[in-house]
Amino acid sequence: MNDTVTRPGRARVLAVWCRDWPAVAAAAAAELPATRPVAVLFGNRVIACSAFARAEGVRRGLRRREAQANCPELVLVRDDPDRDARLFEPVVSAVDATVPGVEVLRPGLLVLAARGAARYFGSEEAAAERLVDAVAATGVEAQIGVADELSTAVLAAKRAAIVAPGADAEFLAPLPIAELAAEPSLAAPERAELVDLLHRLGLRRVGDFAALSPAEVASRFGGDAVAAHRCARAVPQRPPSARRPPPELTVEYHCDPPVDRVDAAAFAGRLLANRLHAALAAASVACTRLSIIAETEVGEQLSRIWRCAQPLTPEGTADRVRWQLDGWLTRRDRPSAPITLLRLEPVELTRAGALQLGLWGGVGEQDERAKRALIRVQGLLGGAAVRVGVLSGGRGPAERVTTVALGDELTPAADPALPWPGRLPPPAPTLLLVDRPPVSLESIDGRQVTVTERGVFSAEPAALRWGDRWWRLRGWAGPWPVDERWWTAREKPAARAQVQLADAEDGKVLLLIHLDRTWHAEGVYD
């Protein structure tokens, strides 16, 4: 075996993956023999199963009856994230005792920096063997993956592979495109829809998707597609933190009386989660890596870092605190004294809008509460006071939104499924300017730029004037003639165009419409 030598300056990542962890944890909790087939159910479907269950034809996604028909001896267990996290804590402790600095992605999967482990044990291969032995001592099997990037290391762990430095993209290229959505701790929920779309477009391998240019992906797909494309190209997925999070974002809870029960610890964790997210909201940031710290009466300190693909919500933070405390308080080598202090420290922050949730923060019960609140407002102000948007048919961005009163049938003013020739191509502007303020397009010699009878610019646009302000143009697209309402009298043809301002912050792009020999700002792209 050739030992892999890590090149100086390259930050390598090592991933530890315990296959079928929900099924393994369920079997351990029920004290079942290792040879007994086990499947975990959620919503009457199999979400995880053991290797012996797969050998009998059980697969993820099967209904309960189908799974039982394939394997009559199958043991069915309900999904329990608390159980999975509690039983994973001994595995995390074993890895952390061998190589410090563990980050938990989810129960069954953790990552750590490979450089220190490779230096201490002599090579990445030797470190991987030591970690497999450390996990095996807890009665669990694990696979190790090492790569330059975190997402590549996770995929390598599922194949028990050590990727050579600089070869991440080569390793990813032949993998099926579905691998980009296979790991929920690294992919947003909408990743599955993206993978299905890419497959239908003929991009069957990760390398096919990576071959597209970043501009092509950004202009045709959503924000999650950009993150998936960076993963496929094996480029850094997160910029390095320029500074540590400010200390005022750290929250503490002094337990009085000291906590030695899981239910009391869970209550304290929920209280801390609400305090933390109030501080994060005030600072307009969100947390993607969180350190959970506990101190006991005798001065013992416990700590663990959790990493998430999306910014944590208060409920997600409370869940992870509860899982971690449950693992600490129920393991065999539990703390020797009750917990007197709990602390949450953000380790990695992002802008609050970078991965923003919906208006109400989530789905399910929260949607119902929001709807009930809107109905109360509607009762106070009248039926037409609360309106919701419906995708409609039309050529312009404003025409494609129909607002109807809350509670009425969501019927658009025009059918969006019709062809609508001349419709503005996606993406749509993020901000619509209802009053359409007038602007002026100018050529390089200062002449006014209009649209000719043939539907083209009278001169190449070089600058835009909006009131007292003036910007040079970095680029433009169009014009696109607006061929509608031809029976009305217009002195000049109507048309739309897009322009990018060179001197504006972030290179802002405007949507312009030309009406009656005058340009108007119709929308703004962020």
Q: What is the pLDDT of residues 262-321, one digit of tens each?
A: 778 778 888 888 888 888 888 878 888 888 998 988 888 888 888 776 788 888 888 888
Cα separation of 428 and 398, whole Å?
A: 10
Q: In the predicted model, is pLDDT for residue 95 greater than 80?
A: yes
Q: Which residue has the tokens 């069954």?
A: 108
Q: Which residue has the tokens 């239908």?
A: 200
Q: What Rg value do the Cα atoms of the chain yield, rounded?
A: 28
Q: What pLDDT, on a 0 to 100 scale, did the predictor assign at position 204? A: 92
Q: How confident is the model at residue 15 (pLDDT cuts 50, 70, 90)?
A: very high
Q: Is 401 exposed, middle or buried (0-12, 13-18, 19+ CB in 10 A)?
A: middle
Mean of pLDDT values over 502-507: 66
Q: How confident is the model at residue 382 (pLDDT cuts 50, 70, 90)?
A: low
Q: In the predicted model, is pLDDT for residue 8 greater than 50?
A: no
Q: What is the pLDDT of residues 102-157, one digit of tens each?
A: 888 899 999 998 888 888 889 999 999 999 999 999 999 999 999 999 999 999 99
Q: How confident is the model at residue 483 (pLDDT cuts 50, 70, 90)?
A: low
Per-position DSSP letters for 340-373, written without gaps between them: EEEEEEEEEEEETTTT---TTSSSTHHHHHHHHH
Token readout for 341 is 């202090």
Cα separation of 519 and 476, whole Å?
A: 14
Q: What is the pLDDT of residues 414-469, one digit of tens each?
A: 887 787 777 777 778 888 888 889 999 999 888 889 888 888 888 889 899 888 88
Q: What pLDDT, on a 0 to 100 scale, did the predictor assign at position 380? A: 66
| Chain center to CA of 104 | 16
For the chain, what is the total number of helices (H) and then of strands (E)? 15, 20
Average predicted confidence (pLDDT) for the chain? 82
Higher pLDDT, 356 or 176: 176
Q: What pLDDT, on a 0 to 100 scale, did the predictor assign at position 372? A: 64
Q: In the predicted model, is pLDDT for residue 345 greater than 80?
A: yes
Residues 6+ positions from 420 with CB-CB distance below 8 Å: 393, 394, 395
Tell me the backbone φ, ψ of residue 132, rounded to 5 degrees: -60, -40
